[in-house]
Amino acid sequence: MIHAAAADPERRLSPVVRLAPAKLNLTLAVLGRRADGFHDLHSVMVPLALADRLTLAIAPGGRDSLHVEGRDAGPIADNLVLQAIAAARVAVRRVSGPDAGPPLAVRLEKRIPVAAGLGGGSSDAAAALEGALEAWGEHLPAAERLTIAAGLGSDVPFFLADRPALVEGRGERVSPLRTLRGEPPAVLLITPAIALSTPAVFAAYAAGARPAVPGSARATSQHLAAELDGGLRGAALLDRAAILAAANDLQPAAAAVAPGLVAFRRALFRRLGQPVGQTGSGPTLWVLYAALDEAEAAADSVLAGLADGSVPRLGSDDAAVIATTIARPGLRPDPTAAGSGATPVQPAQGGEG
């Protein structure tokens, strides 16, 4: 078989560029612990304009390489980008033979705070999987891409959908939802510089750190999924901000692992006068706004609060404060455009936050 990359010498010279968006859990209900130790979820997730940027080029020889710029994403060898490429290579070699899937040189521009509940590493992995296939000129059926994605991490399948979705199971069941109508709301993200490991948060949940009202997040999540399926305006999401901010079953568990989060969140609420939610297992907190300039003004207010102490400092470094928006319907942001689709009001120093 002739591979597209081999057949077209131009292809080898032009790198593939992919944006890897962050995600926001508008709802996150934990339904129960499974026999395999994972938890069954019911979560409405949306991609954000805030995105990492991956560039993949076929390398002359040797092995895959990864160069990371921007935030510290931890040891290269542990990076899901390299694991995604390796898994994609195994799959394409099964179909196209041992010469398929030549080594790739990858550059990752890291803008999404790391280990923050924003799915950055998972999104990078999904973008690496799709980007590697594109660079190689190879195709894999959607079901096989989904299996590879699920094997890389619970959040990775969502990022193959590239749109709002209801996510169930441990993350492998992804049902695309209709995109928000009208202008997508803006989002202020505040990521304190504290390490909050997902397994530790789930373990705290399993040990009993749970919401006072069981089943409430699930009801909100089911309702929102149905509303989105029926075609919801972006502005309507703002009307629901308070109930969405309360619809994350992992919030008490995150607070059990990092007790300072409770006071931090309360201080943000006092400062901004808006509901403050948590994305995923945290520690990133979110506030919805009608437009980006409002989120940017709120970001300035949070920075002033951090400076004067009315918002407590949490962790070893400054919090990352980022104004962005929910991603536009079905459109991958243009990777060739300048900027990342977000206003990094203050870049995080503590990348592991």
Q: For the CB of residue 99, give the shortest distance to ligand C5P in the complex, in Å.
A: 32
Distance CA 343, CA 324 (A): 6
Supply the minimum distance, in Å, between the C-beta of residue 173 and ligand C5P: 11
Distance CA 108, CA 273 (A): 37
Q: Which is nearer to ligand C5P, 38 or 269 (CB)?
A: 38
Q: Given the complex with ligand C5P, which of 206 and 235 has the nearer CB atom? A: 206
Token pair for residue 264?
A: 């931090």
Q: How far apart are CA 51 and CA 63, in angstroms?
A: 26
The catalytic residues are 23, 155
- Asked if 171 is part of the footprint of ligand C5P (rule: CB under 6 A), the reply reads yes
Q: Which of residues 2-21 bind ligand C5P (CB under 6 A)?
A: none
> What residues numbered 202-221 form the site for ligand C5P, per CB under 6 A?
202
- Per-residue binding letters, 137-156, with ligand C5P (x by CB under 6 A): ----------------xxx-
Cβ proximity to ligand C5P, 164 vs 280, nearer residue = 280
Q: Which is nearer to ligand C5P, 204 or 232 (CB)?
A: 204
Other Cβ atoms less than 10 A from the Cβ of 67: the count is 11
Which residue lies nearer to ligand C5P by CB, 171 or 351? Answer: 171
**Helix ranges restricted to H, 163-275:** 198-206, 216-229, 234-239, 241-245, 251-257, 260-272
CA 136 to CA 132: how far, in whole Å? 6
What is the size of the binding site for ligand C5P (CB under 6 A)?
11
Beta carbon of residue 152, minimum distance to ligand C5P (angstroms, whole number)? 8
Q: C-alpha distances in angstroms, 256 versus 34, 37, 156?
A: 22, 20, 26
Report the residue number, 130 or 168, with the smaller CB distance to ligand C5P: 168
Q: Are 302 and 321 in contact (CB under 8 A)?
A: yes
Six token digits for residue 10? 């131009």
Q: Which of 145, 170, 240, 271 binds ligand C5P (CB under 6 A)?
A: 170
213: three-class secondary structure by DSSP:
coil
Q: How far is the CB of 29 from ligand C5P (least distance, A)?
A: 11
| Bond from prior residue into 283 cis (ω within 30 degrees of 0) | yes
Of 73-81, 103-111, 196-204, 305-313, the window that binds ligand C5P (rule: CB under 6 A) is 196-204
* DSSP at 46: E
Q: Segment contacting ligand C5P (CB under 6 A): 181-189, 195-203, 231-239, 344-352?
A: 195-203
* Burial status of residue 252 (CB atoms within 10 A of its CB: 0-12, 13-18, 19 or more): middle
String marking each residue 20-59 x if it binds ligand C5P according to CB under 6 A = ------------------xx-x------------------
Select 157 or 277, whichever has its Cβ closest to ligand C5P: 157
Show contacts with ligand C5P in window 296-325 (CB under 6 A): none
Cβ atoms within 10 Å of 197's Cβ, excluding its own: 11
CB of 28 to ligand C5P, least distance (A): 10
Contacts of 182 (CB under 8 A, 6+ apart): 233, 234, 235
Which residue stretch of 140-148, 197-205, 207-215, 313-321 sits at the interface with ligand C5P (rule: CB under 6 A)? 197-205
Q: What's the sign of the alpha-carbon dihedral 196, 345, 118, 91? A: negative
Residues that bind ligand C5P (CB under 6 A): 38-39, 41, 153-155, 170-171, 198-199, 202
